[in-house]
Structure 1
Amino acid sequence: MTSPPQAATAGNDTTTAGESASLTEEKTDTTQGTTAGRSPGQLMWMRFKRDRTGVIAGCVVIFFFAIAALAPVVGWIYGKDPYTFYGLEDMSLLDPFGYPTGSPGGVSGDHWFGVEPDLGRDVMMQLLYGMRTSLYTAVPVTIVSVILGVLLGLVGGFFGGKTDYWIGRVTDFFMALPSQLFLISTMPVVVALFVAPDKETPVYVRFLAMLIILSFLGWMGMARLVRSATLSLREREFVEAAKVSGASRWRILRKELLPNLYTPILVQGTLMLPMAILSVAFLSYVGIGYTEPTPDWGRMFQRAGEIYQDNPVYMLFPGIAMVIFIVSFNLLGDSVRDAIDPKAGR
């Protein structure tokens, strides 16, 4: 008497399970079809948008680049520039000892970030133009370093043998150099190649000297990364197929290997830019980078180091700005890496 209801129940359960499995397979197929129809760039953008930390960091980085590029516009609206000695025009801004009067650092409605001691220049405009100088120097340095590293890494990893051996030994040699001491010792030498010691050094000469030296010392990490990736890619089937089809070595490097190296190159490049900014600031801090009256982050820190005991506020705004930018760029690099290769962080 109880067998038919049990059979019917079993049949209903089987039907329900079958419908659920069918629906699950349909959703899976739909999802896979949607995913398969998207390019790698679209998939990366989808993963990146889900990372709130990366999105916020990216917005902060874009803001810094935008505010640096628009520094002259901000100065026009603000009514100040980084070169005028406002403390000499308005004697009430500085006390008899040359320090800002009123609130700490001279912060007021006319000077939002205060004024510089002794000269009374506007700190906000010095900071914006200093960011502009640092970014406009660090970006070309990073681009040249990436190009050098990619070329040497590709050549060494693809050709192997003695080519790879000697490129590796040169890379080891440059990585063994004490970078800070090398920067300090070679910067005056490179500047002297363009300008006589008894003449004033133009700003563009200092820019070229830093571009040459920092690029000369910044390519090794990228070269090693690209070399290791190239070693694993050159044995893949698509490379062998290109060789069999008669493709030249240059075409294989350009069309087969390089497109598959965009991920490590992009991630490493985003991590190299903050280091380049710190190196530019370091050169200005020790007095061999940008000098007066060129606004620069490093020069502001050098000046702040002289007066921090009597006027610590002068260091506050450039210090906060640099910390926020460096941390944001590092977080952006990590988020880009996770978006491109989700398995990399596991």
Structure 2
Amino acid sequence: MTTQQQPMPADTGTTQAGRTSPDPRSDGTVITGRSPARMAWRRIRRDKVTLAAFVITVLFILIALLAPVLTAITGWGPIAPDGKAIDPDTGNFPRGALGGVSLTHLLGVEPGTGYDLFARIVYGLRTSLFVGFASAVLSTVVGVVAGLAAGYSGGWVDSVLSRVMDVMLAFPQLLFIIALTPVIQNAMQTNSHGGTDENLRLLVLVLNIAVFAWAYTARLVRGQVLSLREREFVDAARIMSAGRWHILFRQLLPNLWAPVLISFALAVPQNITTEAALSYLGVGVIPPNPDWGALLSDASQFFLQDPMYLFVPGVLLLMLVLALNLLGDGVRDALDPRAARG
């Protein structure tokens, strides 16, 4: 009597030891899972506009970091005047065409002072990026902590913090910073010459912008926490006697990185614009620190005689803010789970 040989079972990717291995495709490739961060980065790379904005943003950051090297190559610093580049007979306007553009001064010089415009712009970029990123980091940290506390605690804590958020959101930010700056300036220490220390003014400017910006992040985080605190993993942590701090910073906070990152990315260009507006109005960065807003304010007086003085910093500020805004929009689209997959 012959026995029929049973067919061998199809290979399901299980090894003899009982362990499962990745299921290969017919062409030999192995299917691997992707983390949310890798999926978001993949979508950003496929978006040409966002990728271009990312490249431009990185380029601006590198220029700001390498400002001492770049100005050393040209031989002119941000507060080193060149008296030979301006003509006293024409009211100290730059010699030559296009605002004094030459091999020595790549973007010309400032009318009246003879400062190298390239050095002023490069160092002014450092000022704008420092204020924009520092105030965004500070407002994001405060907003995340306040949003976590309000959303998780509930009760009177949520009521008080929510009312504070409403009040902060109702303030006209620019007007109140303009009004508060002279008051804070009078209370600040003065330097040996009787004036306000320029570095301390930068710190106060960062604090002023952050004070009026944290409520946006806090409101966003609070709404997310109100939803997350009812999830099963939070209940499981409570059952296992996890403390409040563990639940807040080990369970809830890791699930908030996407909206927090989006909020931060959108806050940076807004803070840079606010800083430039304050400096343009004369209540922002003070000399000798160079700043694009102050450059635009000074250049507006010489527009008819030296249009390059206004055109160059104006176009660069537009490019920086536009690139940061487009990058923030791209990050939001890449991290939003409801967005259409590319």
Give me the TM-score of the superposition, normalised by structure 2: 0.87
CA gap 1:232/1:342 in 2 versus in 1, 3 angstroms: closer
Answer yes or no: is the 8 Å Cα contact 2:85–2:94 preserved in 1: no
Shift of 1:95: 4.7
Q: In the alignment, is the contact (CA less than 8 A) between 1:138 and 1:280 conserved in 2?
A: yes
Query: Where in structure 2 are the equivalents of 1:257-268 lying within 5 Å?
Result: 257-268=252-263
1:115-166 CA distances to partner (integer Å, 9 max, x unpaired)? Answer: 1111111111100000011112222111110000001111111111211111
1:236-278 deviations in Å (ceiling 9; x for gaps): 1111111111111111111111001000000110110111111
Equivalent-residue separation in structure 2 for 1:325 and 1:69 (angstroms)? 15
Residue 132 in structure 1 maps to residue 126 in structure 2:
yes
Q: Distance in 2 between matches of 1:91 and 1:274?
A: 34
Q: Mark the runs of 5 or more structure 2 residues left unpaired by the alignment.
A: 1-22
* 1:192 CA displacement: 2.3
Does residue 42 in structure 1 map to residue 42 in structure 2? no
Map 1:185-224 onto structure 2 (within 5 A): 185-195=179-189, 199-224=194-219
Q: Which residue of 2 aligns with 1:250?
A: 245
- Equivalent residue number for residue 113 of structure 2: 119
Deviation of 1:68 after TM superposition, in Å, equals 0.5
Look up the SS of the partner of 1:81 in the other structure. Answer: coil
**Quick one: which of 81, 84, 93 aligns to 1:99?**
93
Q: Does 1:75 align with 2:34?
A: no
C-alpha spacing 1:152/1:99, structure 2 compared with 1 (3 Å): same
Query: Over residues 57-113 of structure 1, what are the superposed CA-to-partner deviations in whole Å (9 max), with x where a residue is unaligned?
Result: 111111101101110100111111111111x2x166565222223212222222121
Work out whether residues 338 and 344 of structure 1, in 8 Å CA contact, stay in contact via their aligned partners in 2: yes
Q: CA deviation at 1:291?
A: 1.8
1:94–1:120 CA contact under 8 A, matched in 2: no
Residue 3 of structure 2 corresponds to none
User: Does residue 300 of structure 2 align to residue 318 of structure 1?
Assistant: no
- What is the SS of the residue equivalent to 1:105? coil
User: Aligned residue for 1:59?
Assistant: 55
Using the size of structure 1 for normalisation, the TM-score is 0.86
1:241 match: 236
SS at match of 1:109: coil
**Secondary structure of 1:104's match?**
coil
2: CA distance between counterparts of 1:303 and 1:77?
Answer: 26
Give % identity.
Answer: 39
Deviation at residue 26 of structure 1 after TM alignment: 8.0
Aligned amino acid, residue 105 of structure 1? G
2:322 matched to 1:331?
Answer: no
Letter matched to residue 256 of structure 1 = Q
CA-based RMSD of the aligned residues comes to 2.3
Equivalences, count = 318
Q: Is the 8 A contact 1:157 1:228 kept in 2?
A: yes
User: Structure 1 residues 207, 93: closer, same or farther in 2, change over 3 A?
Assistant: same
- Asked if residue 158 in structure 1 is aligned to residue 152 in structure 2, the reply is yes
* 1:282-310 alpha-carbon deviations (Å, 9 max, x no partner): 22111122222211111101101222232
Cα deviations by residue, 1:156-189 (Å, 9 ceiling, x for unpaired): 1111121111111111111111211111111122
* Structure 2 residue 288 is matched with structure 1 residue 293: yes
Single out whichever of 215-224 and 329-338 deviates more from structure 2.
329-338
Superposition misfits of 4+ residues, deviation over 4 angstroms: 25-28, 91-95
Change (3 A) 1:345 1:291: farther
Q: Secondary structure at the match of 2:297?
A: helix
Partner of 1:6: none
Q: Distance in 2 between matches of 1:150 and 1:273?
A: 16
Task: Look up the equivalent residue of 1:213 and give its one-letter code.
Answer: N
- Tell me whether 331-340 or 71-80 shows the greater mean CA deviation: 331-340
SS in 2 for 1:129: helix
1:114/1:123 contact within 8 Å kept: yes
Q: 2 CA distance for matches of 1:78 and 1:182?
A: 40
- Say if 1:235 and 1:91 are closer, same or farther in 2 by CA, change over 3 A: closer
**Alignment partner, residue 161 of structure 2:** 167
Provide the rounded CA distance (Å) in 2 between the counterparts of 1:91 and 1:43: 53
Query: Would you say the 8 A contact 1:93–1:106 is kept in 2?
Result: no
SS in 1 for 2:208: helix
Aligned-partner Cα distance in 2 for 1:254–1:309: 57
CA distance in 1, matches of 2:293, 2:116: 17
